[in-house]
Amino acid sequence: MALGGGGALGLSEIGALQWFEEHHIPVDVIAGTSMGGMISALYATGNSIDQLKAVMNDQVFGSVFRISTSYASRSFRRREDSRDLPNGLTIGLKHGVSFRNSVLIDQGLNSFLDREFLRYDDQVDFNTLPIPFRCLSTDLNEARTVTFARGSIPDAVRASISIPGIYRPFEMNGHEYVDGAVLQNLPAQTVRNDLGADVVIAVSLPLVPVGKKDLDSIVGVLQRSFSVAIEGNERASRKLADVVVEPDLTGFSAGDYLKSAELAERGYAAAEKMKDSLLPYAVDDAAWNAYLAQRTARKRGPAGTLLRVRVAAPNEGVTKNVERIFAPLIDQPVATNKVESLLAAIRSDGRYDADYTVGYDKGPDRRPVLLVTVQDKKTGPPFLELGANVAAQTGGISRATIEGILLDQDFGGYGSELRSHIKLGYLTDFDSEYFRKVPNFLQIRPASPVGTMFVAPHGGILRQPFPIYQGKTRVSERELQKAGGGVDIGWTDGRTTEIRAGWEENDIRWHEQIGIQDGLPNVYGSMQRARVRYALDRQDKAFVPQFGYRVTAEGGYLYDAAGGANAPVFDTQITLGHKFGKEIVAFGTEGGTMFGRNVAQPYRFTLGGPLRLSASALDELRGTDYFLVRPVILRKVASLPAVLGQSIYVGAAYEAGQMRAPDFRTATRQDVFLGVLAETPAGVISFGPALGDGGRYKLIFTLGKLF
């Protein structure tokens, strides 16, 4: 059999294989390209039709097709980046300015292939499989079709399904490979000449007719052009087959990966339509059972316990760290979920690419050997995350910033980094921190780390306007200028938790810019602050969590503060969410206190703005003691394409808050926000009205993060 490629349309080939099995037509050899290569490999290694259908399910495709790593899989510091700049575009600066060379990341795809072909990840002769197998790919270096006949099956399939521009090319031995469909989508010639088949039956996926809107966009034109080019080479390949099965795929597209069952039915129907040509190749029950027994006898058994771990990494520091992480797996059964979990920890900081292969020792027990490969990313570090945040409301001040996070990882040592966050727009802010790992004295033994100690000197400058209100009226605008720095020491587990304690000193300038005299004193001078901060993040997403919670708490002491009293300071924020069917129920609360001290205006808390009393103006309330509670209910009304893993919701939020100060009349407010909220690659977009007590009303729009 020769199975052609075609994205999701290739799932119809499962139905054709099912028809063959039900009618006792043995497949002696098989070859595939792209999706046909993946299905061929799964079938050739001994999977039944039921197993194929179970493997190629919606959940698998949801993990395979991802535009970025999930929030939960990122390190603590990269989660903080995601919260600061959720729509950041990553720019590599290692060799000038460079961007990623694919729409999707391949971590989910690689994990799937490694898991499914665990027993066939070493130097396998593809002729020794339950069904002899070939896989086709396109070599970009030499501009030719390459047929994989031995080696690692995960590598062969990965090379064959690297759709140009969608997945990055697969690199192996100095060559870059992309989808085999570029030059040969239907491997009929390979089945006949390389595998020596007397009879070639091909499942070919016909070119789908042009839809009404298929050519109305650049993407549509490019996709159609690629399909037409493939059709050209496939027509020649069809002529080399004795029987060609062509499923009727009207109404389906190459992106319909969530319709695997319906597509399999189309493949089955296509084989049934060709039964007069196919049934002459059927065998009797005795011959069929003998064929199945031969296939089963060639299947490899369980992998056994791990003999050792070998690490290939860019430097000694990374090598030792990876060896320490993987050491507990030795002499344990090979569990791909555990291996993937440890690889995710290596990748979580965004610094390295990491993958693994499983080979087998030449001893009598053929015990598995794990080879972990860690590689520098081609484009960085340093990296620049570039994006924007917008918060706008009617009858108030809108805020927009262009932001960049400049990150230089392993700066000064493995695990250390220099991070600078730059904001330009309604404010100007430059903040930089050097996160330096220090020897971990809390480590119980080399194979059981319990976290990392760090020291973090930091500094920055800030220019930010602040509106001053009397009632609902904005009477003036003041400007805060701040410059200074400090140092923290702390501990982090690297994934969900960070504790730090530190000190900082800043020069402060707080003065009136425009408007009538607001009666507030100008403040010039310096301030110092000592603090302890705790953060725990176990949410699955940054802003619309479907499960989990996030807690931050900070306590400290403000002293030698120009313009006002010294004061202890404490503030905390808590958010949690849970999904119930199509509904997400979330709850957020925050509060802070300066224990009633008459602290100067530049150091006070603020309230007002989107989801912080939405019907009030941005930073309308200013004081020394406050609280805010915010229950939210969201109902999912639409999903963006599966590759994005994002949704559109309608929802409502109730907000109640209070602000107090020794020289300020206590303000207690409540409001309701009703609107649409969308998770998108550009960040979270929210839009809708907020209705509050006292006749307050705002129309809200946000882009980027939820403020």
DSSP string over 367-434:
-EEEEEEEEE-SS-SSEEEEEEEEEEETTS--EEEEEEEEEEETTTSTT-EEEEEEEEESSEEEEEEE
Average pLDDT of span 645-671: 92
Average pLDDT of span 98-117: 85
Catalytic residue among 34, 204, 237, 686: 34
Q: Are 253 and 223 in contact (CB under 8 A)?
A: no
Average pLDDT of span 597-606: 94
Q: Are 197 and 221 in contact (CB under 8 A)?
A: no
What pLDDT shows up at residue 441?
A: 46
Q: Count the neighbouring beta carbons within 10 Å of the beta carbon of residue 306.
A: 20
**Percentage of residues of the chain with pLDDT beyond 90:** 65
Of residues 419 and 475, more confidently modeled: 419
**Percentage of residues of the chain with pLDDT beyond 70:** 96
Annotated active-site residue 179? The verdict is yes
Instruction: Please list the helix, strand and coil fractions of the chain in percent, rounded to the nearest 5, in that order.
Output: 25, 40, 35
- CATH number for 454-704 (one of 3.30.930.10, 1.10.3720.10, 1.10.150.250, 2.40.160.50): it is 2.40.160.50
Using a CB cutoff of 8 Å and minimum separation of 24, what contacts does 480-483 make? 480/508, 480/509, 480/510, 480/602, 481/508, 481/509, 481/510, 482/506, 482/507, 482/508, 482/509, 482/602, 483/507
CA atoms within 13 A on the CB side of 679: 22
What pLDDT shows up at residue 85?
A: 92
Alpha carbon distance 151, 37 (integer Å): 15
pLDDT of 212 > 80? The answer is: no
Q: Count the neighbouring beta carbons within 10 Å of the beta carbon of residue 332.
A: 10
Average pLDDT of span 197-204: 94
Give the model confidence (pLDDT) of 562-590 as tens digits: 998 999 999 999 999 999 988 999 999 99
Residue 448's pLDDT band (cuts 50, 70, 90):
very low
Catalytic residue among 121, 155, 179, 488: 179
Average pLDDT of span 57-69: 74
- Tell me the residue ranges of DSSP E strands in 410-496: 417-425, 428-438, 452-470, 473-492
**CATH architecture observed for domain 2-67+104-200+249-297:** 3-Layer(aba) Sandwich (3.40)
> Nearest-CA neighbor of 137 among 118, 114, 163?
163
Among the residue ranges 359-363, 410-414, 657-661, the one predicted with the least confidence is: 359-363
Task: Report pTM.
Answer: 0.84
Residue 447's pLDDT band (cuts 50, 70, 90):
very low
Average pLDDT of span 427-434: 96
pLDDT of 201 > 80? The answer is: yes
Q: Are 25 and 280 in contact (CB under 8 A)?
A: no
Q: Which of 67-76, 354-363, 412-421, 498-507 has the highest mean pLDDT?
A: 498-507
Of residues 207 and 176, more confidently modeled: 176
Average pLDDT of span 434-455: 67
Of residues 647 and 144, more confidently modeled: 144
Tokens 């990122």, residue located: 74
What pLDDT shows up at residue 444?
A: 36
pLDDT of 294 > 70? The answer is: yes
Residue 644's pLDDT band (cuts 50, 70, 90):
low
What pLDDT shows up at residue 221?
A: 77
Among the residue ranges 75-89, 228-242, 603-617, the one predicted with the least confidence is: 228-242
The DSSP secondary structure of 541-558, one letter per residue, reads: SSSS-SEEEEEEEEEEEE
Q: What tokens does 293 get?
A: 């027994």
Alpha carbon distance 554, 552 (integer Å): 7
Give the model confidence (pLDDT) of 269-278 as tens digits: 999 999 999 9
What pLDDT shows up at residue 445?
A: 39
Alpha carbon distance 282, 105 (integer Å): 43
pLDDT of 62 > 80? The answer is: no
> Nearest-CA neighbor of 71 among 344, 313, 270?
344
- CATH class of the domain comprising 305-376: alpha beta
What pLDDT shows up at residue 27?
A: 96
pLDDT of 208 > 90? The answer is: no
Residue 58's pLDDT band (cuts 50, 70, 90):
low
Q: In the chain, how many H helices and how many E strands?
A: 14, 32
What pLDDT shows up at residue 216?
A: 67
What pLDDT shows up at residue 614?
A: 94
What pLDDT shows up at residue 258?
A: 81
Using a CB cutoff of 8 Å and minimum separation of 24, what contacts does 679-688 make? 679/541, 679/543, 679/544, 679/640, 679/644, 679/646, 679/647, 679/648, 680/640, 680/644, 680/646, 681/67, 681/87, 681/644, 681/646, 682/87, 683/86, 683/87, 683/387, 683/389, 684/86, 684/543, 684/544, 686/610
Give the model confidence (pLDDT) of 387-425 as tens digits: 999 999 998 788 999 999 999 999 988 889 999 999 999
Average pLDDT of span 33-52: 94
What pLDDT shows up at residue 481?
A: 95
Amino acid occupying residue 7: G
Give the model confidence (pLDDT) of 149-159 as tens digits: 999 999 999 99
- Domain regions of the chain by residue span: 2-67+104-200+249-297, 305-376, 454-704
Of residues 690 and 234, more confidently modeled: 690
pLDDT of 227 > 90? The answer is: no
Among the residue ranges 276-290, 338-352, 466-480, 594-608, the one predicted with the least confidence is: 466-480
What pLDDT shows up at residue 317?
A: 84
Annotated active-site residue 429? The verdict is no
**DSSP β-ladder status, 547-559 and 523-537:** antiparallel
Residue 468's pLDDT band (cuts 50, 70, 90):
confident
On average, the pLDDT of the chain sits at 90
